Amino acid sequence: MTTQRILPQSKETLLQSYNKRLKDDIRSILDNFTEIIKTAKVEDETQVSRATQAEQDHYEMHVRAANIVRAGESLMKLVSDLKQFLILNDFPSVNEAINQRNQQLRSLQDECDKKLTTLRDEIATDLYELEEEYYSSSYSPWDSSDLPLCEAFHRQDGSDSPEDLRGLVGTSLSGRAGDGSGGISRGSTPGQLNGHGTATAEHP
Amino acid sequence: MANDRLRALEEVEKEIGTVLQCAGNIILELSKEKHNASFLDRQLSQFTTSVNRVETELSNQIRYLTQVATGQPHEGSTYSARKDCQMALNRVDYARVKLGELGRTCEILLDTQT
């Protein structure tokens, strides 16, 4: 069941030291606890006076109790070292953790992109209708000589000559005073046309 | 899998606390004039069980690490997936900002018309 692995000297030595620490600490706890219980027994005959014996027993129990606590602390430190070693060197679990995290992040990314694509499709339709409504409205601040974009698109379907198209572009751009945007894209916001908002054109 | 082993080590830490607690309770009970024998028995059996459990679990973990450790550093990372996800979230934020601007523009236009 156990596979023979050739570990680097340092790692093998480290794991052997962990084993040794474990055995020593457990033995220390058990031995010191057993000795405390034995010392608690009241002896009838003592070599020194009772008071001296009691004082000696008291000091011994104090030291052994401190040893038990020290061994407990050493075990806690061992557990902490094992946790650290596990995190750094347990490759199967590290690989699994990395795969899980990658999967989570990719699914979140796919969800975001799917929702953005749906949003794009819905807004494209609405934007087209908004532009039509805006440019054909009688309350629009544009002159009748200016060509709305939707009209420009309609005419672009019918007209094939590039000069006509350039003429349309020039006419439509001349109405956009001071906004600095130069692109005819369906993604540009109407707010730019009045000089409001940011003067950036979206070029897909 | 990783979390299971780390959780097992955290349980071991609690068991070590239990070992010291039981040892203290036994000595405290023995210091009294009248001992409660059943309490002493319970604490002693819990002390012995906890010590055995700590030793067994830590031995198992060290044996597993001896089998699994290679001595080489792990070079995997989640950086590329994190970066792609961050860019997707940036795209969503950007779309939200642009939609906000579009909404404000529509409101301004409606206000000027009314």
Task: Tell me the chain A residues in contact with residue B81 when contact means C-beta distances shorter than 8 Å.
Answer: 101-102, 105-106, 109
How far is B50 from B42, CA to CA, in rounded Å?
12
The alpha-carbon gap from A126 to the nearest alpha carbon of chain B, in Å, equals 12
Residue whose token pair is 């067994």: B56
* Whether the predicted pLDDT of B20 surpasses 50: yes
Q: CB B105: neighbour CB atoms within 10 A? A: 19
* Whether the predicted pLDDT of A44 surpasses 50: yes
Mean pLDDT of A144-160: 56
Q: CB A148: neighbour CB atoms within 10 A? A: 19
| Closest partner CB to A189 (pick from B58, B84, B101) | B101
- Contact between residue B53 and residue B15 where contact means Cβ atoms under 8 Å apart: yes
Say yes or no for a CB contact (<8 Å) between B89 and A86.
no
Say yes or no for a CB contact (<8 Å) between A94 and B74.
yes
Q: How much is the mean pLDDT over chain A?
A: 75
In sequence order, what E strands does B66-111 have? none
The alpha-carbon gap from B58 to the nearest alpha carbon of chain A, in Å, equals 8
pLDDT digits (tens, 9 = 90+) for A67-123: 999 999 999 999 999 999 998 888 888 899 999 999 999 999 999 999 999 999 998
Q: Residue A147: exposed, middle, or buried by beta-carbon count in 10 A (0-12, 13-18, 19+)?
A: buried
Return the residue in B62, B97, B104 with the most chain A beta carbons within 10 A, the one to mutate for interface testing: B62
Q: Of the candidates A163, A177, A172, which has an alpha carbon nearest to the alpha carbon of residue A135?
A: A172
Categorize the per-residue pLDDT at A38 as very low, low, confident or very high, splitting at 50, 70 and 90: very high
Q: What is the pLDDT of residue B69?
A: 84
The alpha-carbon gap from B38 to the nearest alpha carbon of chain A, in Å, equals 17
Return the residue in B10, B16, B60, B101 with the most chain A beta carbons within 10 A, the one to mutate for interface testing: B16
Q: CB A24: neighbour CB atoms within 10 A? A: 13
Q: Over pLDDT 70: what percentage of chain A?
A: 64
Q: ipTM strictly over 0.90? A: no
Residue A98, chain B, CB below 8 Å: the answer is yes
Q: What is the pTM of this model?
A: 0.64
How far is A184 from A145, CA to CA, in rounded Å?
18
Task: Tell me the chain A residues in contact with residue B19 when contact means C-beta distances shorter than 8 Å.
Answer: 29, 72
Residue A66, chain B, CB below 8 Å: the answer is no
Q: Residue A29: exposed, middle, or buried by beta-carbon count in 10 A (0-12, 13-18, 19+)?
A: buried
Mean pLDDT of A149-165: 53
Angle in degrees, CA A10, A18, A30, rounded to 5: 160
- Contact between residue B9 and residue A79 where contact means Cβ atoms under 8 Å apart: yes
Amino acid letter for position A12? E
* Whether the predicted pLDDT of A183 surpasses 70: no
